[in-house]
Structure 1
Amino acid sequence: MVSRPVEVWITGMAWSTALGDDLAGVWQSLLAGRSGIRSVDFPIALRSPLASPLPDLDPALPLAERQHRLTVTTLRRALQDAGLAGDTAEVVPVLATSYGHHLDVPETESLSRWAVEAAREAGCQRAPITVSTACSAGADALLLGLSLLRRGFTDTCLCGGADILTPAKRLGHSQLGTLAADGLRAFDRAHSGTVLGEGAGFLVLETQAAALARGARPYGIFAGAGSANDAVSAVAPDLSGGCLALAVQRALCDAGLAAHEVGCISTHGTGTRLNDEVEARTYSELFASSPRPPLLFGTKGAFGHTLGATGALEAISILLALDNQQVPPIVGLENPLAGITLPLAMRTALACRAEVGLSVTLGFGGFDTCLVFQRAREARR
């Protein structure tokens, strides 16, 4: 990343999740410890029948149409939330997915056409930039948007990700052995795998000057971002945690902040053994000397693992946590892993007096990304 000549605000947000799409309503469901994970029929025996489908997206629609509708409706709500629904001339869309519908469509000729068509129908006048970096894609879209604003390419970006449940994804993860038959239990000693979900999250990024000029108020400040790639495996994380630590350190350096200033972390928290253990050990080491260690939480036990959308959904969750000064419980967490030395949100929502929060994603292919957000200086509304 570059030096920080401009301050970047988050002025609009929208999500589509297994718990619904109302921003405040879904947040309250998260705080209450609710989950959208359920058994979903499949014609072939899988390692697990569990998934977290969207309640309002017709499963009978063709896959490309499901991806399109999910993206368009969530984009429109994000623009509306920011007050930009009729003023998109300068908005640069940065849209991400892991694979969307493409794994199930062998005749696919373009991995970015879905983004072009969705951005156009949502009312965006500028062509989108498409990002596909596995499970870090949604976070990387935000990282790229931050860089574009800092470099003066534009004053406004619309960034995030969308991904749908498809047969190929469920079959692929079943064969990989990553699915949990008894639920997603991130950081729990009984964790046995993840649960796939679908969803979308998009955030409007604006320079402070542009936002003030039109009277917009921020949900929070996008202070910095960092990424790293370990190139160790197509599917497994770097067991040393070095790559993850590097992404976090780069993000904090980019934001001009120190580790002891971090008050909460929205973890990747997939519920798989290797991912949980790498995250637990790395955060415990990075923040060992913090006088008030950051509080860890995660949303995948509620939303499922939404692949290319997860980084955007988790960015929204950390912004809401900072704004509301509380974090939701990690659904399914009862007996934390022995190696975790940081406090965990479990069983009930917890108060969290934090001014700085991190959102962290770990993707297949070694993509690790960390986003840094600061609490807004004044209430948005």
Structure 2
Amino acid sequence: MSGAALMATGGAVCVTGMGWTTALGDDIDGVWRRLVKGDSGIRELAPDARGRPRWAATLPGAGGPATERQVSLAASTASLALADAGCGAEAVDVLVLGSSLGPHLDDACEESPHAWASAAGERLGVRESPVVVSTACSSGSDALLVAAAMISTGAARRCVAGGIDLLSEAKLLGHAALGTASTTGIRPFAEDRDGTVLGEGAGFLVLEARADAEARGARVWGELRGWGSSNDATGPTAPDSSGGGAVLAVERALRKAGVTADEVAVINAHGTGTPANDATESACYATLFGDRPVLSATKPAFGHTLGATGAIEAIALLLSLHHKQTPPMLPSGAALPVDGPVGISVTLGFGGFNTCLVAERAR
């Protein structure tokens, strides 16, 4: 399909398939029910060498060579999304994979970061070489952004895109050294928050042009209406405390979607639980939205899954719009109604990467 032909259909980017592998399971409906109940996959680990408490959200069967785990999880989770979409890998033009560091903190090798992604694409059965995105904790969101842009411009008709990251001792030690790891549990936006809790997982979505989705009678979960990004240029790990960089990413996404801040019914926040990140997000939302809309965050359930978080949270946002409610931010809370068809998902990554995706409930 040419770009002109696609624009004639409205340039809509439909989500026709979703798949995730999380600490709460890998069934879309089953995990959603657990989210709404306030379940959490976070568990206490053995204390670190200094005797400090540690928490994490791990997948069953963790262990084994890091590269093989990365390839296997990427392929299996992307397969879930394809099955949900009712199409095979042969129908996919491009696979777009996001990950923070892939397996390279744990496997000593000289291979390019593209190597594991190529292996995952081959195992999945996608013919073309994959596109790989590595923008820290925004990787999953940016993978979706890249795929959506390819479809909206006519460069591709159908993409599988998402993010994956696995937990390792190196990542746990790294966040402990940075002072971003909580020793008491994750509490996004709470006054007594003291850090984040890491997790592992993967999330993938099948994106396609509306004309192609309609032609094959596909079930549509929703649409990606807009996307925007920015960079704080503040420091390797410190966000822009004014929230200005995040504001710019959200404004760009809303403008591309053709919607106003007043039309946003729900925000799936990055919500890491660190004092600095949560303060930055709070400043952003206060600038753009005031006291509305409904605010949600899923890291208390899944942990901070790093490069996978943006894709997993995009699925959670689409489910919130579909079911017209959003899960509680903390296990002690209650699900809240979502009164409107439009929502946003925001990710803020190390290195100053900010990404916002605008989604709309299926029409």
The list of structure 1 runs, each at least 4 consecutive aligned residues, that deviate by more than 3 angstroms after superposition, is 41-48
Residue in structure 1 matched with residue 22 of structure 2 by the alignment: 17
1:51-102 Cα shifts (integer Å, max 9, x gaps): 00012xx2231111211221111011111111112x5244310001001211
Give the C-alpha shift of residue 43 in structure 1.
6.8
Name the CA distance, whole Å, in 1 between partners of 2:252 and 2:124.
34
Residues 1:34 and 2:39 aligned together: yes
Q: Does 1:62 align with 2:65?
A: yes
* Structure-2 residue corresponding to 1:193: 195
SS of residue in 1 equivalent to 2:278: helix
What residue in structure 1 maps to residue 232 of structure 2? 230
Partner of residue 74 from structure 1, selected from 51, 68, 77: 77
Q: Percent identity?
A: 51
AA partner of residue 357 (structure 2): L
CA distance in 2, matches of 1:273, 1:204: 35
Give me the whole-angstrom Cα distance separating, in 2, the residues matched to 1:28 and 1:217: 20
TM-score normalised per structure 1? 0.91
Whichever residue aligns with residue 210 of structure 2, its letter is Q
Q: Is contact 1:47–1:174 with CA below 8 Å preserved after alignment? A: no
Provide, for residues 21-50 of structure 1, a one-character-per-residue CA deviation record: whole Å limited to 9, x for no partner.
010010011100110000224774475421
Confirm whether residue 145 of structure 1 aligns to residue 147 of structure 2.
yes
Matches within 5 A, 1:200-219: 200-219=202-221
Q: CA deviation at 1:233?
A: 0.6
> What aligned pairs does 1:42-191 form with structure 2 within 5 A after superposition?
44-45=49-50, 47-55=52-60, 58-85=61-88, 87-191=89-193
Amino acid in structure 2 at the alignment position of 1:349: A
Q: CA deviation at 1:359?
A: 0.4
TM-score (norm. length: structure 2):
0.95
Aligned residues between the structures: 357
Q: Tell me the distance in 2 between the aligned counterparts of 1:134 and 1:42.
A: 26
Written as runs of structure 1 = structure 2, the 5 A alignment for 1:303-318 is 303-318=302-317
Matched with 1:340 is: none
State the alpha-carbon separation in 2 of the partners of residues 279 and 127 from structure 1: 36
Whole-Å separation in 2 of the counterparts to 1:47 and 1:117: 38
Whole-Å Cα distance in 2 between the matches of residues 321 and 227 of structure 1?
A: 23
- Is 2:359 the counterpart of 1:373? yes
Separation of aligned partners in 2, 1:80 and 1:44: 44
Aligned AA (1:321): S
Q: Give the one of 342, 351, 359 matched to 1:356.
A: 342
TM-aligned CA deviation for residue 301 of structure 1: 0.4
Q: Any unmatched runs of 5+ in structure 1?
A: 333-345
Q: Structure 2: which 5+ runs fail to align?
A: 1-5
The 3 A distance-change label for structure 1 pair 46 and 321 is farther
Match of 2:276 among 255, 274, 277: 274
Whole-Å separation in 2 of the counterparts to 1:368 and 1:160: 16
